[in-house]
Amino acid sequence: MDFNDTPEEAAFRAEVRGWLDANATRIDPNETGSYEMFSENDGDDVVKQAQAWQAKKADAGWACITWPKEYGGRGGTIMENIIFSQEERNYHTPQNIFGIGLGMAGPTVMAHGTPEQKAKYLPSLLRGERIWCQLFSEPAAGSDLAGLTTRAERDGDDWIINGQKVWTSGAHYSKTGIIVTRSDFNAPKHKGLTYFIVDMEAEGVDVRPIKQMTGGANFNEVFFTNVRIPDADRLDEVGNGWAVSITTLMNERMSIGSGFALGPDRIFEEFNRLAQNTYVDGIPAVENHAVRAKIAELYSRMKAMELTSNRVLSSISQGKAPGTESAVIKLAMGALNQEIAAFGMELQGNLGTEHGPQSVFNNGLFQEVYLGIPAMRIAGGSDEVQRNVIAERELGIPQETRVDKGIPFKDIPSAASR
Amino acid sequence: MNFLFDDDQHALRDAAKKLLLNKATLDGLHKDMDGGVAYNKELWDIMSENGYQGIGIPEEFGGAGMGYLNQVVVAEELGYSFAHTPYTSSIVGAAEAILQAGSDDQKHKYLPQLASGELIGTIAYYEQSGRYDAAGIETKESGGKLTGKKMPVIDATIAGIAVVAAQGSKGLSLYIVDLKQSGVEITALKSMEMLRASSVVTLNGAEAELLGEEGKGAELLETLTSRMAIFIAFEQIGGATRCMEDARDYSLERYIFGKPLGTYQAIKHRISDMFMRNELARSNCYFGAWALESSEGDIAEAAALARSTAAEAFEFAAQENLQVHGGIGFTWAEDCHIFVKRMRHLDALIGGRLVWRERLYKILESKAA
C-alpha cells in the first residue's frame, strides 16, 4: 500500500500537467462552478468544441492512453490513464460526449471485431470524428435486456433490421451505433441474439428525442424500419450477441462507476459555504449540530466512494480481475447523490426549488443534481440489478427461480402474449 | 500508487484468520460468557508465541517492527473472529499510548512486556459523566497520586497497568498506574458486552507516573484516540464482514417456501447492502492505515472518516444479520447477539458517530478557512 506516486508516475503526472497547462485553463478552486449533469445544451457548438478538444488530445497522444498505438492510442498503462483523468478534471475542458464510444463501443470492437472492423472504425472513434451511441434497451426490455425483440433477418449480404430502441443517449448527434438484435426467435432467449455496428444515417433510422424530467432532451427513442446493415458490420458470430453485449455492459459499469462529478472536497466546500449563509430556526446552519453531523456524514461517504474507486483501479492495474467493487460504487453513488442534493435543497429553505444558474445559492448545483440523479440510479443497470450482481457474483447467492430458461424465446410469457 | 494490501499482508491475514477461528470458536465464546471467564488465556498465549501482540511495536522495544499496515490486518482479524482477548485495551490502547507519549525509559520498561503479552495494559480515560472530552474528567493528581473514579474500564481485572487521564496542577495529563497497588480498587460493572469485562476503577491516592508532557493531556487524548479509532475501525470492519458472511451462509442453509431464503430479493438485496456498506467503509479504513503508516497523511481526518463509516457499517450488518436469521437470531444460543453486543461496545469505546462527525467537521472547517 502506497497512496503516493512512484517516481515514474510522478514524472508522467508532471508531463501531463505541462501539456494541460499549455492547452487548457486550470479551474480556480475558489470559483463556484455550476454542475450540468444532463445538460440542456448539447447543440452543434457543444459537439464541435468537444470534437476539437478530443482531436487535440489525439494529436498529442492523450486521447486513449491504454489503446494500442496502431489505433491512435498511446500503448500506455492503466495507471497512466488514471493519472491523466485525475489531472484533466482540474481544467476547464469541453463536455465529454465520447463516453459511449471510447468507454464501451471501442473496447467491444477491440474484443470482438475483425482486423478490418478495427481498422475501419477505431481511429475515427478515438479522434471523436464519429460519435457513437448504444442501442440496447427497448420499451419492454430494460433490466431484462435479453428479452429484446428488435428483429434482424438475413437478406443476401445484408441484414434487415426492424424494431424500436429507447433511452439512447446522444443518438441525435451520433453517426454510428452499436445495436443488439434478435436473429432467431426459436432459439432460447440468450442464444438468438446478434450484435451489429449500425450507420445512424442509413435509410429507415428515425431518431426522436425524449424530453426528460430535467427539461432537457439528451436521449432518444430510435425506430428501425427495414434498415439494411451489411454483414461485414456484424460483430462476432451470428447468435453470439449476448456475449458481445456483456463485454459492452462490463465496460459500461466501469465507466459509470468511475465518474466523479462531485468529489468529496467539492461536496464539503459547497455545503460549508451554504451552511454559513443559511439558518435553522434563527441560528446559522453551520452552528447547528445536526447540520454539521449530516454534512460530515455525506463527506465521509463520498470520500469512501473515491477511495473505493482507487482500490478498483489498483486491482485492474495489477492485472487482477476486479471484484464487484464497481457495482458497489454504482449502487452507492446514486443514493448518495440523491441525499446530498436533497439536503442541500433543505438547507436552502424556501429557495430550495429555485432552478438554474441565477439561483441564490450554489449556482443551482443541488437542484441540477436532484433532477438528474434518478437517471443515474437506473441507467447502466438499476440499483436492483447491481444488488443482484453483488449477491450472485460476489457472495454466491443463487438467482431467483426463473421461468424463461431453456425454452424457445417465442414461448416465454410476456405482456404481449397475455 | 497502490491502494491495496500486498501479498505478505494477505498471507498474514490468512494465518491470523486460521489461528483465531481455530482458537476463538463461537462455542468457546458462549462458554466463556456463561462461565464469566475474563479472557481466553490460551488464545492470548498462542498469540504471544506467534508474536501477534508485538507486530507493530518497534524491534528496539521488543516487538517485530512490522509497521502499522500489518498491525491493522491483525486488528481486522480479531474483529472478524470476535476473539475474547484484551488486544484492544492492551495493544491499541496502552501500548500505543506509551509508544507515542512515553519517555525512552518508559518505552523500554513497558513495551517489551506488553509486546510479549505477559503484561496486560488498559486505558482509563473516561468517567461517569459519559463525556469523551477533557472537561468530563474529574480525577485529580496531587503529589504524584491520583484520586477519582474511572468507568467503564475494560479488562481492568486482568490488566497490570492502566493509562489514566487526570487533572494535574498544569491541567489534564496522562499517567501510568500500576493496578495491583493498594490505592486501586476494582469493582465489576455489568455490561451488555460480557466478553470485554468492564469495571469501575476507584483511585484512592494511587501512585502514578506521568506519561508525556504535564498539562498536554487534552492534545494527547485527541492524538491517541485518533490512532485508536483507526485500529478499532479495522476491528469493526472485521466484525461487519463476519456478520455479512453469517447472514449469507444462513440464507443459503435455510429453506423457505421450497427454496433457499437467500434467493428472495428481499433478503439477498439486504445482504448486498451489507456488502456495499462494508466495502465503502473498508476503503476509509485503508486510508486510515496509510495515514498511520506514512505519518504524512492527516491521521485525525482519516481516523474520523474510518471510525464513522465503519461504526455505521457494523451496526447495519449486525442488526440486519439478526433480522435475516428470524426468531432464532434473538436467542442466546445463536451468535447474532454476540455480534450485536460487540458492535455496540466498540461504538461506545471512544465515542460514537456524533462525536467523530463533529471532529471531522472541525477538521474540514479549519482546512477550508
pLDDT tens by residue, A246-302: 999 887 766 544 455 678 988 999 999 999 999 999 999 999 999 999 999 999 999
The fold of A258-381 is Butyryl-CoA Dehydrogenase, subunit A; domain 3 (1.20.140)
Find the CB nearest A401 among B69, B259, B287.
B259
Q: Is A386 on the interface with B (CB under 8 A)?
A: yes
pLDDT at A417 over 80: no
Asked if the Cβ–Cβ distance from A1 to B1 is below 8 Å, we say no
User: What CA–CA distance (Å, rounded) separates A339 from B20?
Assistant: 40
Q: A267, A299 in Cβ contact below 8 A?
A: yes
pLDDT at A334 over 70: yes
Check residue A295 and report its DSSP letter: H
Interface residue of A4, A81, A82, A303 to substitute, partner B, most B CBs within 10 Å: A303
User: What stretches of chain B show up as alpha helix (H) in DSSP?
Assistant: 7-23, 26-35, 41-49, 68-81, 87, 96-101, 104-116, 217-253, 265-294, 299-325, 336-349, 353-368
Question: How wide is the angle at C-alpha A142 spanned by C-alphas A139 and A148, nearest 5°?
Answer: 70
Residue in B with minimal Cα distance to A79: B1
A318 chain-B contacts, CB cut-off 8 A: 2, 4
What mean pLDDT do residues A322-328 have? 81
User: What CA–CA distance (Å, rounded) separates A151 from A409?
Assistant: 13
Q: Which residues pair with residue A164 across a beta bridge?
A: A223
Residues of A serving a catalytic function are: 252
Q: Where are the beta strands (DSSP E) in B111-229?
A: 121-124, 140-142, 145-154, 161-168, 171-178, 184-189, 198-211
Residue in A with minimal Cα distance to B10: A1
Three-state DSSP state, B198 = strand
Element (H, E) at A283: strand A283-284
pLDDT tens for residues B256-308?
999 999 999 999 999 999 999 999 999 999 999 999 999 776 899 999 999 99
Residue in A with minimal Cα distance to B6: A1
Q: Is A300 on the interface with B (CB under 8 A)?
A: yes
Surface of A (242-271) touching B: CB under 8 A: 268-269
The fold of B7-116 is Butyryl-Coa Dehydrogenase, subunit A; domain 1 (1.10.540)
pLDDT at position B295 is 76
Q: A325, A367 in Cβ contact below 8 A?
A: no
pLDDT at A321 over 80: no
Question: How wide is the angle at C-alpha B306 spanned by C-alphas A303 and A301, nearest 5°?
Answer: 30
Asked if the Cβ–Cβ distance from B271 to A268 is below 8 Å, we say no
pLDDT tens for residues A169-181?
999 999 999 999 9
ipTM value: 0.95
What mean pLDDT do residues B92-120 have? 98
pLDDT at position B369 is 83
pLDDT at position A21 is 97
Asked if the Cβ–Cβ distance from A1 to B293 is below 8 Å, we say yes
DSSP per position, A180-225 = EEES-SSSBTTTSEEEEEEETTSTTEEEEEE--TTS---EEEEEEE
Residue whose C-alpha cell is 494500442: A68
Which CATH code of 1.10.510.10, 3.40.50.300, 3.40.50.1220, 1.10.540.10 fits the domain covering A7-97? 1.10.540.10
B67 chain-A contacts, CB cut-off 8 A: none
Domain range annotation of chain B: 7-116, 121-214, 218-368
Domain range annotation of chain A: 7-97, 132-240, 258-381
Q: Which amino acid is at A39?
A: S
pLDDT at position A82 is 85
User: What CA–CA distance (Å, rounded) separates A355 from A366?
Assistant: 9
Superfamily of domain A132-240: Butyryl-CoA Dehydrogenase, subunit A, domain 2 (2.40.110.10)
Asked if the Cβ–Cβ distance from A6 to B276 is below 8 Å, we say no
Three-state DSSP state, B281 = helix
pLDDT at position A86 is 85
pLDDT at position A36 is 54
Task: Give just the sign of the alpha carbon dihedral B124, B126, B132, B133.
Answer: negative
Q: In this predicted structure, which of A11-25, A131-145, A316-330, A366-380 has the lowest mean pLDDT?
A: A316-330
Asked if the Cβ–Cβ distance from B283 to A308 is below 8 Å, we say yes
Which CATH code of 3.40.640.10, 2.102.10.10, 3.40.50.10860, 1.20.140.10 fits the domain covering B218-368? 1.20.140.10
pLDDT at position A256 is 47
Name the phi and psi angles at A154, rounded to 5. Answer: -75, 135
pLDDT at A340 over 80: yes
Q: Where are the beta strands (DSSP E) in A94-247?
A: 132-135, 151-155, 158-169, 176-182, 193-199, 205-210, 219-230, 234-235
User: What CA–CA distance (Å, rounded) separates A83 from A66?
Assistant: 12
Q: Which residues, at least 6 apart from B318, have a Cβ–Cβ distance to it below 8 Å? A: B239, B240, B243, B336, B339, B340, B342, B343
Asked if the Cβ–Cβ distance from B1 to A314 is below 8 Å, we say yes
Surface of A (46-85) touching B: CB under 8 A: 79, 82
Angle, in degrees to the nearest 10, between helices B299-325 and B217-253: 30
Asked if the Cβ–Cβ distance from B272 to A391 is below 8 Å, we say yes
Number of inter-chain CB pairs under 8 A, A vs B: 156
Q: A233, A58 in Cβ contact below 8 A?
A: no
Torsion of CA B270, B275, B280, B282, to 10 degrees: 140
pLDDT tens for residues B168-185?
999 999 999 999 999 999
pLDDT tens for residues A218-231?
899 999 999 999 99
Interface residue of B72, B265, B280 to substitute, partner A, most A CBs within 10 Å: B280
A295 chain-B contacts, CB cut-off 8 A: 361
A81 chain-B contacts, CB cut-off 8 A: none
Confidence of residue A357 (pLDDT cuts 50, 70, 90): confident
Q: Is A288 on the interface with B (CB under 8 A)?
A: no
Question: How wide is the angle at C-alpha B276 spanned by C-alphas B273 and B278, nearest 5°?
Answer: 110
User: What CA–CA distance (Å, rounded) separates B121 from B110?
Assistant: 9
B69 chain-A contacts, CB cut-off 8 A: 1
What mean pLDDT do residues B86-112 have? 98
Asked if the Cβ–Cβ distance from A391 to B1 is below 8 Å, we say no
Element (H, E) at A297: helix A289-317
Find the CB nearest B361 among A9, A296, A307.
A296
Residue in B with minimal Cα distance to A386: B272
Instruction: Calculate the CA A335 to chain-centre distance.
Output: 17
Q: Which of A37, A51, A56 is nearest to A340 (CA)?
A: A37
pLDDT tens for residues B6-51?
999 999 999 999 999 999 899 999 999 999 999 999 999 999 999 9
Residue in A with minimal Cα distance to B9: A1
Q: B32, exposed or middle or buried, with CB in 10 Å at 0-12, 13-18, 19+?
A: middle
Q: What mean pLDDT value characterizes chain B?
A: 96
pLDDT tens for residues B191-202?
999 999 999 999
Residue in A with minimal Cα distance to B263: A400
Find the CB nearest B283 among A311, A390, A397.
A311
A274 chain-B contacts, CB cut-off 8 A: none
Interface residue of A8, A291, A300 to substitute, partner B, most B CBs within 10 Å: A300
Q: B189, B205 in Cβ contact below 8 A?
A: no
* Least Cα separation, residue B302 to chain A (angstroms): 10
Confidence of residue B141 (pLDDT cuts 50, 70, 90): very high
Find the CB nearest B269 among A296, A310, A387.
A387
DSSP-based helix, strand, coil % in chain A, nearest 5: 50, 15, 35
Three-state DSSP state, A401 = coil
C-beta atoms surrounding A306 within 10 Å: 17
pLDDT at B2 over 50: yes
pLDDT tens for residues A89-107?
889 998 888 989 999 999 9
pLDDT at position A261 is 63
pLDDT at position A156 is 97
Residue whose C-alpha cell is 449469507: B248
A387 chain-B contacts, CB cut-off 8 A: 265, 268-269, 272-273
Find the CB nearest B283 among A79, A304, A324.
A304
Top mean-pLDDT range of A37-46, A263-272, A352-361: A263-272
Q: B12, B75 in Cβ contact below 8 A?
A: no
User: What CA–CA distance (Å, rounded) separates A387 from B276?
Assistant: 9
Angle, in degrees to the nearest 10, between helices B353-368 and A264-277: 90
- The three cell numbers of residue B107 are 518505552
Predicted TM-score (pTM) of this structure: 0.94
Confidence of residue A40 (pLDDT cuts 50, 70, 90): low
Residue in B with minimal Cα distance to A323: B279
Surface of A (343-372) touching B: CB under 8 A: none
With left for phi above 0 and alpha for psi between -120 and 50, is residue B201 left, alpha or beta?
A: beta
Q: A415, A140 in Cβ contact below 8 A?
A: yes
- The three cell numbers of residue B270 are 439486504
User: What CA–CA distance (Å, rounded) separates B236 from B347?
Assistant: 9
Surface of A (192-251) touching B: CB under 8 A: none
Name the phi and psi angles at A165, rounded to 5. Answer: -110, 160
Looking at chain A, the whole-number percentage of residues with pLDDT higher than 90 is: 71
pLDDT at B122 over 50: yes
Distances (CA, A) of A354 to A138, A209, A344, B325: 34, 26, 12, 47
Residue in A with minimal Cα distance to B253: A397
Task: Write down the architecture of domain B121-214 according to CATH.
Answer: Beta Barrel (2.40)
Q: A346, exposed or middle or buried, with CB in 10 Å at 0-12, 13-18, 19+?
A: middle
